[in-house]
């Protein structure tokens, strides 16, 4: 049985039903033809038997009356009772000579069969074969009664019967296929719900559930689907909780590192600057040639202090809980513009209110923006970066969402198979990996698109209040 890759299941099953029906029709037609040929041979054999017994009676009558002039064989009386269209009846002597023969005419209203069918039928059934019965008189065979049929007659009848069967088949097969296709369409209609549920699961809607189905097999699939969705939702929830803990540990480690740098390294740099200033005063009195070296040490210490201050700002940004997300981001943009000396230029546009935003959401969004700006400025070499932050207020039946968009004109990263959807995979870049983990911990979606030839666009959508309740798929009408 042939199989078409990607073909519709209903069509495939309907074609198989049609193929099986065709084979059954061919078998039934063959059975009818064989049975018809067997019946025709039985009739011819019966005619030959009647003819032989009648001729024996005629011969006995001649002998009993002792009338050698009586006509023998006399097939007229036999032919009048048994003759049918195409039937031939004859008496053959021992020498093989036909003494008398009668043949019925063929029907003229039957259409002649095609030559190919006639040749095949004659090859399979040999319709002109003779039925021979010996004629015995006083214990001795005096000849043979022979009966046969003109091959054209049974061939034409077989073609006529086959044509009627073919007409019935040509009408019944399309009706059968239509009924089978309709029944399969109705039976497989729940598969559309299953596919829709799988697509929603793939899109991240883990609250999707399938309703019960009438068919036991589909109900079993629906039960497994619902169990899988529940386990997947639980696993994702555990993963998000673990990710949040890891992010908290990471932030705590950053704060600890910032304190260590500020308390140890910062004080050491301050001491170096103080010592350089003291050495300069001494050199000004005792050794003016060392003034340049003292000034160089002071400038180096000052530059290191500036670098340390920037690192501390990135490791331990201003308290988002106190300043708010909007003010913190505006300060971040201002700091980047101040350090960039005109290149690159950073812009920010904020719409909506963020005062009541949870501290974890604010902190994670701030870190995401911070990492994205660092990637755009330092790694992509962007000359213009645009940050847009928007709060979409909740609709009567929906949830609030925060949309974060960052567009730049820098060199695109090295994405490998980056899809146009959520959570792309990157060949490298722990910063993007960290952003992805933070977005996943918030239950949001992240997408990254690289422009041609330059530029990139980062999109983050985070729900403010996620609705975790199950949302069953509606049953199709």
Instruction: Specify which residues 240 forms β-bridges with.
Output: none
User: For residue 394, how many other CB atoms are within 10 A of its CB?
Assistant: 13
Please, which residues have CB within 8 angstroms of residue 131's CB and are 6 or more apart in sequence? 41, 44, 45, 47, 48, 146, 147, 148
Q: What is the number of alpha carbons within 13 Å of residue 375 lying toward its C-beta?
A: 26
Query: pLDDT for 49-70, tens place per residue?
Result: 988 888 888 888 877 877 666 6
The interaxial angle of helices 216-260 and 190-202, nearest 10 deg, is 10
| Full pLDDT tens readout for the chain, 477 residues | 455 555 678 888 888 999 999 999 989 888 888 988 898 889 999 988 988 888 888 888 877 877 666 677 778 878 778 878 888 888 888 778 888 888 877 665 667 788 888 888 888 888 888 899 998 888 888 889 999 888 888 888 888 888 888 888 999 999 999 999 999 888 888 888 888 988 988 887 888 888 888 888 888 888 999 999 999 888 888 877 887 788 778 778 877 888 888 788 888 888 888 888 888 888 888 888 788 888 888 888 888 888 887 777 667 666 676 788 888 888 888 888 877 766 668 889 998 888 888 887 888 888 888 888 888 877 777 788 899 999 887 654 456 889 999 988 877 654 433 443 333 333 334 567 778 888 887 878 888 887 666 788 899 999 886 443 434 444 333
* Gap between the Cα atoms of 389 and 347, Å rounded: 11
SS3 209: strand
Find where tokens 């598969």 sit.
191
């Amino acid at each position: 049985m042939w199989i078409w890759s990607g073909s519709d299941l209903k069509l495939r099953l309907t074609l198989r039903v049609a193929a099986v029906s065709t084979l059954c029709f061919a078998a039934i037609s063959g059975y009818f033809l064989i049975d018809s040929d067997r019946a025709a041979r039985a009739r011819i054999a019966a005619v030959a038997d009647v003819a032989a017994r009648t001729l024996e009676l005629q011969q006995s009558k001649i002998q009993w009356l002792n009338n050698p002039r009586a006509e023998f064989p006399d097939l007229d009386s036999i032919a009048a009772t048994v003759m049918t269209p195409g039937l031939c009846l004859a008496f053959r002597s021992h020498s093989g000579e036909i003494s008398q023969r009668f043949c019925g005419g063929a029907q003229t209203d039957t259409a002649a069969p095609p030559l190919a069918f006639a040749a095949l039928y004659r090859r399979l059934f040999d319709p002109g074969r003779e039925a021979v019965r010996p004629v015995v008189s006083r214990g001795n065979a005096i000849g043979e009664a022979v009966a046969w049929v003109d091959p054209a007659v049974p061939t034409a009848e077989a073609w006529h019967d086959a044509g009627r069967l073919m007409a019935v088949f040509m009408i019944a097969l399309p009706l059968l296929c239509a009924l089978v296709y309709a029944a399969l369409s109705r039976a497989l209609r729940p598969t559309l719900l299953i596919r829709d549920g799988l697509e929603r699961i793939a899109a991240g809607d883990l609250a999707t559930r399938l309703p019960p189905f009438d068919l036991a097999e589909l109900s079993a699939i629906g039960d497994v689907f619902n169990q899988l969705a529940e386990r997947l939702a639980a696993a994702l929830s555990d993963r998000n909780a673990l990710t949040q803990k890891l992010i908290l540990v990471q932030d705590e480690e950053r704060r600890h590192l910032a304190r260590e740098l500020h308390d140890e390294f910062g004080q050491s740099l301050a001491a170096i600057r103080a010592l350089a200033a003291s050495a300069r005063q001494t050199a000004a009195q005792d050794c003016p040639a060392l003034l340049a070296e003292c000034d160089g040490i002071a400038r180096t210490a000052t530059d290191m202090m500036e670098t340390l201050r920037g690192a501390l700002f990135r490791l331990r940004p201003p308290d988002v809980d106190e300043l708010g997300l909007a003010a913190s981001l505006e300060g971040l943009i201002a700091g980047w513009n101040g350090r960039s000396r005109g290149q690159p230029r950073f812009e920010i546009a904020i719409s909506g209110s963020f005062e009541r935003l949870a501290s974890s959401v604010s902190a994670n969004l701030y870190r995401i923006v911070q990492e994205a700006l660092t990637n755009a400025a330092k790694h992509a070499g962007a000359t213009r970066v645009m940050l847009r932050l928007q709060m979409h207020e909740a609709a009567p039946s929906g949830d609030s969402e925060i949309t974060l968009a960052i567009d730049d004109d820098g060199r695109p990263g090295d994405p490998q198979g980056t899809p146009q959807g959520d959570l792309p995979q990157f060949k490298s870049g722990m910063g993007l990996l960290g952003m992805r983990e933070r977005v996943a911990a918030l239950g949001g979606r992240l997408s990254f698109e690289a422009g041609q030839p330059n530029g990139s666009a980062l999109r983050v959508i985070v729900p403010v209040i996620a609705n975790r309740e199950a949302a069953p798929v509606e049953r199709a009408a």
